[in-house]
Amino acid sequence: MNIYKPVGVTSTRVVERIRSILKTKAGHTGTLDPFARGVILVCWGKATRFASFFQGLDKVYRAWIRFGMTTNTYDVYGKIEKWHSGSLEKEQLLPVLAKYHGKLTQRIPCFSASKYKGKPLYQYARQDISVPVMSKEIEIYSIEVLQWEEGEFGSIELRIHCTSGTYIRSLAFELGEETGLGAYLFSLCRERVGNFSLSESIDVFRPGIEPERLLRKSLSVDQALYWIPSLSLNEEETRRFRQGNAVSYSHFLTESWMKVYHQNVFLGLGKMTYSGVLQPKIVIG
């Protein structure tokens, strides 16, 4: 399900809400910070077995960044660490934004769920324990400037298309460092995850929402896995696949995941090898 997460609600609370409505197991495919709003994908029932396949989808964010101060969390919920003097000017920031395109190494916020020695970084941060600065590889496909507010304590509104795992909070912090003005993420909206858009998302916290509405708005898992190619098996191949046995399929000589069907019935996912062998990985039909 493509769900709308409101501001002030945790991703876990969204999942709990869906569980209470549908009376079944459910799990999200990637968190969205409590102060942010927007698209979060939730798998329920048998589809929870496929949740990991959605975690790597690209994201589109709409971000509001304010300059003139920094916070310890890099966002509006954090404690102010430093005030900065100076005026935000377009001519100053445009060359900086141009650097943030393509593959980059990004600093991981100290208040995050990323782990150091088996513990989330936020646990160290809350106890004021210093840990080495951690980073990760990301890719920003595009940054579009939507609005400007120049001058002291200026702001900028951006639309950012990026890989999964990109910290927009870190981007705000780094823009503040590059300009010398300091900056923090004031507001964030996730407008898209893969092909799942904000305009099609469902607000499960609306009063009176019924299970039937969620069922109507749910996609079958094979529909949701739109980027994975399909493969149809005959009777004997289907029997072997359902039993968890490998199937020889010389029509494909490339390594990839495959959605497997028999007579238009979705059987699950298999992994095709370069030698033309289909290995069953998740069998549901």
> What are 150-187's pLDDT values in tens digits?
999 999 999 999 999 999 999 999 999 999 999 999 99
Instruction: Say which range, 24-28, 112-116, 158-162, 242-246, has the weakest mean pLDDT.
Output: 112-116
- Using CA atoms, how far residue 41 sits from 35, 230, 246, in Å, is 17, 22, 31
d(CA 268, CA 29): 18
- The domains located in the chain, with CATH, are 2-57+195-223 (3.30.2350.10), 59-193 (3.30.2350.10), 228-283 (2.30.130.10)
- The neighbouring-strand residues paired with 88 are 151
Pairing of strands 102-107, 115-116: unpaired
Instruction: Tell me the mean pLDDT in the region 52-58.
Output: 95
- Kindly state the percentage of the chain with pLDDT values over 90: 76
Q: Annotated catalytic residue: which of 33, 58, 203, 222?
A: 33
Q: Which residue has the tokens 């079958």?
A: 220
d(CA 92, CA 277): 56
Residue 147 dihedral angles phi and psi, to the nearest 5°: -150, 155
Q: Does an H or E element contain 237, and which?
A: helix 235-242
Residue 152 dihedral angles phi and psi, to the nearest 5°: -65, 140
Concerning whether 33 is annotated as a catalytic residue, the answer is yes
- The neighbouring-strand residues paired with 59 are 162, 193
* Confidence (pLDDT) at 259: 96
Instruction: Tell me the mean pLDDT in the region 244-258.
Output: 82
* Confidence (pLDDT) at 253: 62
| Residue 122 pLDDT level (bands cut at 50, 70, 90) | confident
d(CA 53, CA 27): 13
Instruction: Say which range, 23-37, 203-217, 240-254, has the weakest mean pLDDT.
Output: 240-254
* Confidence (pLDDT) at 252: 64
* Confidence (pLDDT) at 195: 97
Is the model's pLDDT at 237 over the cut of 90? yes
* Confidence (pLDDT) at 280: 96
Instruction: Tell me the mean pLDDT in the region 113-128.
Output: 77
Instruction: Tell me the mean pLDDT in the region 1-12.
Output: 95
Collect all residues with Cβ–Cβ distance below 8 Å to 28 and sequence separation of at least 6. 11, 12, 14, 15, 40, 41, 42, 43, 51
| Residue 238 pLDDT level (bands cut at 50, 70, 90) | very high
Residue 162 dihedral angles phi and psi, to the nearest 5°: -150, 175
d(CA 123, CA 110): 9
Contact 209, 19 (CB under 8 A): no
Is the model's pLDDT at 51 over the cut of 90? yes
- The neighbouring-strand residues paired with 236 are none
Q: What is the mean pLDDT of the chain?
A: 92
d(CA 187, CA 164): 19
Which amino acid is residue 224, in one-letter code? A
